[in-house]
Each structure stands twice: as C-alpha cells, then as structure tokens.
A and B are shown apart, each in its own frame.
Chain A
Amino acid sequence: QSALTQPASVSGSPGQSITISCTGTSSDVGGYNYVSWYQQHPGKAPKLMIYEVSNRPSGVSNRFSGSKSGNTASLTISGLQAEDEADYYCSSYTISSTPVVFGGGTKLTVL
C-alpha cells in the first residue's frame, strides 16, 4: 500500500488536458511544499517533471503544470501528445519514519 494515493489510470485524446491527483495527509503533501512529479516511459528511468509543487525543471515543456490544495496535489498536462503516454508518479517529503514517499503511479494513455 503506497503512502500517497493516485488513480491507477487516466486517459485523454491528443490536444486535450488531463489532471492526475495525488492525495496524502497533513504529514506529507498537505504539510509541506515538497511535492514532485516524475514521468517514466517503459524500460526507462524516471524523469523529473515538477518539483516543489509547481516548479518546472529546465527543458520540461510548459504543457506540464503542478498545483496543490490541502492534502491533494495535482499534475495537469495540457495539449496532450502521443509522447506523453507514460507512467506518472508523485512524491512528497514526509515527517513519518522515512523522509520520502511515492504514490502508486498513474498510467496515462493517449487515445
């Protein structure tokens, strides 16, 4: 059982926007602005897409954006493209016994 809850799958058509949620508690997502998002294509290492809730690393498309409300963080991908099809993981700092927790991952399908 993952510490952060994500939907198992989401889908959208090219050009559409989708949002992936990541729900935690006040001990992690809700208590700190240390939420990050990773994209992982099959057989590849994860790639950082968003850090500290809403910051985009250099080189990441501005079609990717992050936000947070209460204990739930969200990743929004606008103008969906075929290359966005991948697994997406959220992560957060936590005051629990381990400093980092991940969500269970969300498989994005571009129809």
Chain B
Amino acid sequence: EVQLVESGGVVVQPGGSLRLSCAASGFTFDDYAMHWVRQAPGKGLEWVSLISWDGDSPYYADSVKGRFTISRDNSKNSLYLQMNSLRAEDTAFYYCAKPGRDGYDYYFDYWGQGTLVTVSS
C-alpha cells in the first residue's frame, strides 16, 4: 500500500525557516519524480515544487523560487522541502504527492495527509 506521511509543520515567525519531510513507502521511490502542493486554509490547491527521481532537476513555483529548496534522499525514501524567508502567505497545508507514472508525470495518484505550516508573529 502506498503511503506518504508528511511532518515538520509548526508555527514559525515571518522570516523564519522550516524543513518539511515526507516519508514514502509502498512503491519504488527512486523511480518517481515527486511534488509538493500546498493549500492555504479555505483556499485552493497551489503547485509548489517538483524534483526529478535522481534529485538533479528541481522546479519551483514563482511564488517560492529563491526561498524554498526541494531535495530527496532515495536511500531513506524521503522527500524534503527547506523553506526559508517565510512569509504570512506561505501559511498552508503542505502535501507531498506522487505522480501516476514513473519518470515525470503531471497527475497525482497518491497524496499525503498534509502538514500545516503557520507563519505568524
């Protein structure tokens, strides 16, 4: 059974930093690119970032480019999101999402339960 479990969400002050983790199981992790998607409370979904299966090719939404860094450790079946210079508008549930097919793909057949990041003083 595929499982994605995010962790690391907390309350952090504006300008602060945070690292989110996503533990994956039930599939061959290093066959898949992986994504982060976020959702502000009561708002819609926003794609955040993508990393290739080997970690060499990251992509970012313009809203987080230069502040967030996506990474992965295939030996630990884990995905990460380092978030720096946090702003109030980064407050959201952060989901890791698995693409439907190995390699690159742009629909998500499994999502984690989400972890809440709150940026507030």
Contacts and interface: CB of A to CB of B under 8 A. Distances in A.
Interface string A71-111: 00000000000000000010111000111111111000000
A51 B108 CA distance: 9
Residue of A46, A98, A99, A101 with most chain B CB atoms under a 10 A cut-off: A98
A104 B35 CA distance: 19
Interface string B18-35: 000000000000000001
Chain B interface bracket (under 10, 10 to 19, 20 to 34, 35 or more): 20 to 34
A69 interface: no
Chain A interface bracket (under 10, 10 to 19, 20 to 34, 35 or more): 20 to 34
Chain B binding site: helix, strand, loop or mixed by DSSP? Answer: strand
Nearest to B65: A97
Interface string A31-61: 0001010100000011110011000010000
Nearest to A96: B62
Interface of B: 35, 37, 44-47, 50, 59-62, 95, 100, 106-109, 111-114
5 contacts: A38-B45, A45-B95, A46-B108, A97-B62, A102-B47
Interface of A: 2, 34, 36, 38, 45-48, 51-52, 57, 89, 91-93, 97-105
